[in-house]
Chain A
Amino acid sequence: MATSHGIRRRIEEFARSLCEELGEVDDSEGDCWLDAVENRAVEVGDAISAALIAQQAAKHRPADEESTCPECGQTGRYRGDRQRELLGRRGPVTITEPEYFCPCCRKAFFPDDHGHRR
């Protein structure tokens, strides 16, 4: 699991320093003190989740200049990286993926990177 003993310890250290930095919780941020604390914790958790996904997704090799169109088999040209915003369980996440264009089909396509991300 991602939260091994070592990582959990670092999360606790990070939480401790974050607590000191953020200071006292304002009760008005929730229905009561505990609600406000939970709201803050969830917000931080969501932000960590989004950052983790974005960084994990950014770890990919440079895109090839050309790729084979999955529909017609002709060669498509690399058009740059497409920023894709998806709604995830913990809020919006941004994924970057190389976009290619097939001049025959006149369609954009997003080929697999042959398991490089797995």
Chain B
Amino acid sequence: MTTAIGVEPECPFTPSMLKKVVYAGAQSTSFVQATKDLSMLAERTVSRERVQRWTKRIGRERGALVEVLAAAYQQLPLPEQRRSPTDQTPPVVCVQMDGGRIQLRDRHDEPSQEDSQGHWRETLVGCLLSMTSQEHETDPCPTIPLTFVDPRRMADLSREIKGFCAVEQQEHAVPEEPALDRAGRPQVRVRSVVATREGVETFGPRLIAAAHARGFNAAQRKAFVADGSATNWGVHRKYFSHYTAILDFTHAICYVYAAAMAGRPVAEGWEAYCQWAQWLWQGDTAALVAALEARTADLGSPSTEDSQTCPRCIVAETLRYIQNQRARMNYAAYRQRGLPITSSHIESTIKQINRRVKGTEKFWDQGAEPLLQLVADHLSETADLTRFWKQRPQHLSPTRCYQTAA
């Protein structure tokens, strides 16, 4: 009967109600909120404990399945790994990854066991995007878009991403132009999401297995876009080395903005920034490095006594960043091939995940991993979760978990 009923003997819900409970548990801002949402939207009373217990249970089951797929991928011979297991292969694909933050606390921990970062720990999130775009004979958008040469927007962007503030803000006349879509920008077709707090050794295999399952490895044009974190490029090197490596343009331009504005009057800094930004946009890292070296020579090399916010430290850090990442900054060529140049999709995905898991009042223990799995599943536009629910009844144990008296 268990298969026909579709839920295990100890489950208090029908299969479709269980789906609703799990959806609410994964999508509401908290388990308490999930019970309120179920009451208001599904008109059913379910206790917080039940929502929590069943959400975590299903999340663990999903996580175990994802792990099985990751292990199966690792067993495939290399030619098979590069082939698409599906009939369809998307023309353009992009894998993006970044780190999120959640608070983890073992409930048995003493307060004194906190380390320097408190309870904050990193999660790893990846986005798999199938896309459409055209290839071009030349760069379809050779001039940097106005949004990156808007002083107010750049100040905000730089503050948000790098925490850098220009000394003084000054109004600049920004040409009035409607916000047009950048020419040649690839369009996303289907997104799927991978998320874990288990570390990069778990994350990498899961991400590449998910990419393989969607036929990404066989695509003609493949991009891996991320910011400059060593973790990201370690994953690229180990699992995605056949994907074109692209440094997120937005992070790069924030470094360039900070270096151009550091230690100069705003008008002078802005003039330098506009030139440097255009070089960056073109992928002309040689010109950019030369300009940064000249600026370093003007300011002098940073000493150990300098604070991190002093101009020569900012310029030196930017120079180092550009030199380290220059192989991934050929933006004109990437646009020509119809590849994405920003990691905006992973940034917004992390914000969506944070809505559920991150907060100064939210502390997780073993529940974080199953929940991250389910949040990622619900953000994914692929049929993985639908397939899981459809197949779940076939794999249920018909025995009760506990023993009964004879």
A contact residues vs B (CB 8 Å cutoff): 42, 69-71, 84-89, 91, 93, 95, 97-98, 101-103, 105-113, 115, 117-118
On whether A89 and B5 interact (CB within 8 A), knowing A70-B398, A111-B398, the answer reads no
User: Which 5 pairs across A and B sit closest by C-beta, in order of nearness?
Assistant: A97-B1, A88-B14, A117-B4, A109-B399, A112-B3
B404 near A110: Cβ-Cβ < 8 Å: no
Question: Which residues of A are found within 8 Å of B11, using beta-carbon distances?
Answer: 86
Q: Total interface residues on B, using CB and 8 Å?
A: 25
Smallest Cβ distance from A23 to chain B, in angstroms?
25
Q: Residue B88 at the A interface, CB < 8 A?
A: no
Alpha-carbon distance A112/B398, docked complex (angstroms): 8
Does B163 count as interface, using CB distance less than 8 angstroms? no
Q: A87-B44, A88-B14, A89-B14 are in contact. Are A112 and B2 (CB under 8 A)?
A: yes
**Interchain CB contact under 8 A, A101 and B9:** no
Determine which of A101, A113, A115 lies in contact with B404 in the assembled complex, contact meaning CB atoms within 8 Å. Answer: A101
Contact check, A70 vs B4: say whether CB atoms are below 8 A apart: no
What are 6 A-B interface contacts by the 8 Å CB criterion? A70-B397, A88-B13, A93-B14, A106-B406, A107-B399, A111-B1
Q: How far is the CA of A70 from the CA of B400 in the complex (A)?
A: 11
Residues of A within 8 A of B400 (CB): 107-109
Residues of B within 8 A of A115 (CB): 4
Our pick among A85, A87, A110 for the contact of B2 (Cβ within 8 Å) is A110
CB-based nearest B residue for A46: B43
Q: Smallest CB–CB gap between B223 and chain A, Å?
A: 43
A101 to B9, CA, bound (A): 14
Establish whether residues B1 and A91, one from each chain, have CB atoms under 8 Å apart when the complex forms: no
For A70, the chain B residues whose CB sits under 8 A away are 397-399
Asked if B226 lies at the interface with its beta carbon under 8 angstroms from chain A, I say no
Binary A-proximity of B35-61 (CB < 8 A = 1, otherwise 0) = 000000011101000000000000000
| Total A-B contacts with CB atoms under 8 angstroms apart | 77
Q: Is the interface of B mostly helix, strand, loop or mixed?
A: loop
Return chain B residues, CB-CB under 8 Å to A95: 5
CA distance A70 to B11 in the complex (A): 19
Whether A106 pairs with B398 at a CB distance below 8 angstroms is no
Per the bound structure, the CA–CA distance linking A105 and B398 in Å amounts to 13
Let me know if A88 and B399 touch, CB within 8 A. Answer: no
- Distance between Cα atoms of A106 and B12 in the complex (Å): 23
Residues of chain A within 8 A (CB-CB) of B17 are 86-89
Q: Which residues of A have CB within 8 Å of B5?
A: 84, 86, 95, 97
How long is the Cα–Cα vector from A87 to B3 in the complex, in angstroms?
17
Q: Mark B1-28, 1 if CB is under 8 A from A, else 0.
A: 1111101010111101100100000000
Residue contact B42 to A107, C-beta cutoff 8 Å: no
Closest to B46 in A: A87
A114 to chain B, nearest CB (A): 10
CB distance from A108 to the nearest CB of B (A): 5
B170 within 8 A of A: no
Q: Which of A101, A111, A112 has the most chain B CB atoms closer than 10 A to its own CB?
A: A112
**B75 within 8 A of partner (CB):** no
Q: Does B403 contact A (CB under 8 A)?
A: yes
Decide if A118 touches B14 in the complex (CB within 8 Å).
Answer: no
Once the chains are docked, how many angstroms separate the CA of A93 from the CA of B24?
A: 21
Please name all residues of chain B whose beta carbon is closer than 8 Å to the beta carbon of A97 when the two chains form the complex: 1, 5
A110 and B398 CA atoms in complex are apart in Å by 5
Asked if A91 contacts B44 (CB within 8 A), the reply is: yes
A89-B20, A91-B44, A101-B406 known; A110+B1 contact, CB < 8 A: yes
- Contact across chains for B44 and A98 when beta carbons are under 8 A apart: no
Closest partner residue, chain A, to B45 (CB atom): A87
B3-A107 in contact (CB<8A): no
Task: Give the docked Cα–Cα distance between A63 and B13 (Å).
Answer: 24
Q: Is the CB of A87 within 8 A of B406?
A: no
Q: Which of B360-406 contact A (CB under 8 A)?
A: 397-400, 403-404, 406
The listed residue (B7, B13, B398) touching A109 by CB distance below 8 A is: B398
A89 contacts which of B3, B16, B397 (Cβ < 8 Å)? Answer: B16
Closest beta carbon of chain B to A1's beta carbon, Å = 16
- Let me know if A88 and B16 touch, CB within 8 A: yes
